[in-house]
């Protein structure tokens, strides 16, 4: 039986960060991965990185059709077309690059890597195939899987999960996407620009329902206007049937009716991958399917930690990484500071992008704050016009009495980059935040305009 100081199960962003931090703190660490494809987890192999590669190809195709507007002569509009085989080949190269990078970092830091089916045995022991490993501290980082709906089992051909969609070699003629969260919006943005007709269906009353309400409402208008996308919020899928090479979707609610589509993507979220993990051999407790942890990510089983999509915190790669570092520092018997989840940004890489950090207006009011808000559009910002993307807005939320900045919410060009500026300003007074001098011309000039508008009618 091999013995280590720390075992990390799962090699996604959280597990990778935990293993590296544990090694930096002097622990003898082993990283365990059951995916025969290799290291990287969902984010690298079936999530963030492949999806962003598809999105970038779609963005380049759209830009190619606008060359004349930017004074560039080239192919006539309509002659450019996507090559899905080439997109997939590029996606695979990005995944391989990421996996090789993780392998190099593990070797550099002296982390032992095992690839085999893994299961908790209790008392600090883990089965690894036919072998057994032992450690006084274990971090679980096995991530999540796409959620499935009863009676709507993906077949990989016409009814798809996000995993299937990333491997498509045929462009859907009409793609119905069930779910208007980040996954649904990103795939809708990619495939509509690649040339598919897209219908986006969301049961709640707006897209991106977990974000600032104004963003979801405006995003629906922009997608419908800019891409002629069929947006159906407040609408549910009650039945889907594959017949004669089509998917017949029966909808009810605000925009009911039957749709005949070439493909249906089920993008209703993800659930923690706890099946077969062996939690029954430990004192760890589940709550609504998630593993319950304390602020330092430790479960009810002493020395057993859980991070990332296994716990009921935002399902984001950078959250998993931060939790991995926190758990490793706690496992090394340090005194780390628990995470402040209010300061963690959320991003959606659609068209346009969204970036939010801090409290939304509704969240601030629910916590008892007297609220000031201010908004500024990108329309007057010349850099947005130069980039060809003069749409969207910045909205800020502040506490009325202290004028402390509570939240920054962005819909528009490069929102996923700009949101980090907002995060750095959180907690400052509006006056302190406005002392920051922003470069000109830049997209971030919309932020001080929103700050100045805060509280004005």
- For residue 247, which of 181, 169, 157, 148 has the smallest C-alpha distance? 157
Distances (CA, A) of 456 to 276, 282, 376, 387, 406: 55, 56, 12, 29, 17
Q: In the numeric block, which tokens belong to residue 8?
A: 């990390």
Tokens 């700050």 -> residue: 451
Do the beta carbons of residue 58 and residue 191 sit within 8 Å?
yes
Tokens of 247: 């998917």
What are residue 106's phi and psi, to 5 degrees?
A: -65, -45
Residue of 78, 130, 105, 86 whose CA lies nearest to 23: 105
Q: For residue 89, what are its two tokens? A: 């080949």
Q: b/e string for 265-304 if b means 16 or more Cβ within 10 A?
A: bbbbebbbbbeebbbeebebeeeeebbebeebbbbebebb
CA angle 434, 435, 436 (to 5 degrees): 85
Q: Which residues pair with 177 in a beta bridge?
A: 200, 265
Question: How many other CB atoms sit within 10 Å of the CB of residue 306?
Answer: 30
Choose the catalytic residue: 174, 227, 263, 440.
Answer: 440
Phi, psi of 53 (to 5 degrees): -65, -45
Residue 401 backbone dihedrals phi, psi, to 5 degrees: -75, -45
Strands 125-128 and 118-122: antiparallel
The 3-state DSSP class for residue 29 equals strand
Q: Sheet containing 125-128: give its strands across.
A: 2-3, 131-134, 125-128, 118-122
β-bridge pairing 112-115 and 29-33: parallel
Determine how many CB atoms are found less than 10 A away from the CB of residue 107: 11
Cβ atoms of 6 and 135 within 8 Å: the answer is: yes
Query: Is 385 a catalytic site residue?
Result: no
Catalytic residues, by residue number, are 440
């Amino acid at each position: 039986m091999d013995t280590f100081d720390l075992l990390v199960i799962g090699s996604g962003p959280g597990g990778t960060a935990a293993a590296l931090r544990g090694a930096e703190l002097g622990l003898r660490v082993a990283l365990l991965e059951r995916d025969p494809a290799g290291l990287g987890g969902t984010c690298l192999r079936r999530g963030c990185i492949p999806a962003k590669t598809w999105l970038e190809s779609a963005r380049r195709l759209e830009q190619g059709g606008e060359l004349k507007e930017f004074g560039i002569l080239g192919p006539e509009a309509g002659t450019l077309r996507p090559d899905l085989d080439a997109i997939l080949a590029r996606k695979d190269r990005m995944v391989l690059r990421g996996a090789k990078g993780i392998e190099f970092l593990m070797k550099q830091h002296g982390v032992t890597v095992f690839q085999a089916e893994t299961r908790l045995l209790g008392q600090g022991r883990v089965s690894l195939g036919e072998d057994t490993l032992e450690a006084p501290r274990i971090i679980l980082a096995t991530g999540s899987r796409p959620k499935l709906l009863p009676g709507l089992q993906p077949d990989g051909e016409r009814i798809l999960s996000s995993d299937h969609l990333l491997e498509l070699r045929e462009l859907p003629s009409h793609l119905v996407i069930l779910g208007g969260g980040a996954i649904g919006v990103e795939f809708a943005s990619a495939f509509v620009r690649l040339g598919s007709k897209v219908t986006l269906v969301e049961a709640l009353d707006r897209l991106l329902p977990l974000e600032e309400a104004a963003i979801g409402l405006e995003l629906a208008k922009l997608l419908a206007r800019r891409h002629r996308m069929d947006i159906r919020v407040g609408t549910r899928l009650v039945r889907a049937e594959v017949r004669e090479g089509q998917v017949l979707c029966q909808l009810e609610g605000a925009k009911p009716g039957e749709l005949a589509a070439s493909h249906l993507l089920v993008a209703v979220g993800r659930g923690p991958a706890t099946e077969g993990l062996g939690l029954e051999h430990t004192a760890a407790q589940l709550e609504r399917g998630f593993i319950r942890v304390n602020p330092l990510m430790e479960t009810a089983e002493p020395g057993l930690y859980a991070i990332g999509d296994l716990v009921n915190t935002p399902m984001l790669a950078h959250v998993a990484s931060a939790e991995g570092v926190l758990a490793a520092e706690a496992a090394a018997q340090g005194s780390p500071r628990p995470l402040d989840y209010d300061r963690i940004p959320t991003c959606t890489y659609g068209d346009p992008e969204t970036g939010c950090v801090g409290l939304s207006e509704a969240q601030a009011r629910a916590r008892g704050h007297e609220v000031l808000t201010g908004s500024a559009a990108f329309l007057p910002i010349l850099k947005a016009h130069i980039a060809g993307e003069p749409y969207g807005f910045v909205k800020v939320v502040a506490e009325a009495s202290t004028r402390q900045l509570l939240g920054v919410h962005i819909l528009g060009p490069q929102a996923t980059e700009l949101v980090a500026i907002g995060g750095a300003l959180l907690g400052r007074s509006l006056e302190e935040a406005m002392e920051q001098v922003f470069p000109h011309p830049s997209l971030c000039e919309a932020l001080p305009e929103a700050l100045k508008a805060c509280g004005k009618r």
